[in-house]
Amino acid sequence: MRLRIQRDLRRWHRWLAVAVAIQLLAWTVSGVFFALVDIEGVRGTPHRQAVADANITTQSIDWVESPAQKIVLRNRLPNETVVGVYRQQGADWFTLAGHPLTTLSKDEALLLGQQLTDLSPNEAVWIDTAVEGSEYRGADLPLWRVYATHEPSTVAYLDALTGEVTAIRNTSWRWWDFLWSLHIMDYGDRDTIGTWLLKIFSVLGLASALAGIALFISLPNKWR
Spatial distance between the Cα atoms of 162 and 90, rounded to a whole number of angstroms: 14
Given pLDDT bands bounded at 50, 70 and 90, which one contains residue 8?
low
Given pLDDT bands bounded at 50, 70 and 90, which one contains residue 199?
confident
Helix extents (H) in the chain:
2-36, 39-43, 106-116, 171-184, 196-218
Q: Per-domain residue ranges for the chain?
A: 2-40+175-223, 45-169
As beta bridge partners, residue 191 has none
Confidence at residue 13, expressed as pLDDT on a 0 to 100 scale: 60
Using a pLDDT cut of 90, give the percent of the chain over it.
42
Given pLDDT bands bounded at 50, 70 and 90, which one contains residue 96?
confident
Is the pTM for the entire model greater than 0.85? Answer: no
Confidence at residue 142, expressed as pLDDT on a 0 to 100 scale: 94
Contact criterion met (CB below 8 Å) for 196 and 184: no
Query: Is 70 exceeded by the pLDDT of residue 192?
Result: yes
Spatial distance between the Cα atoms of 146 and 143, rounded to a whole number of angstroms: 9
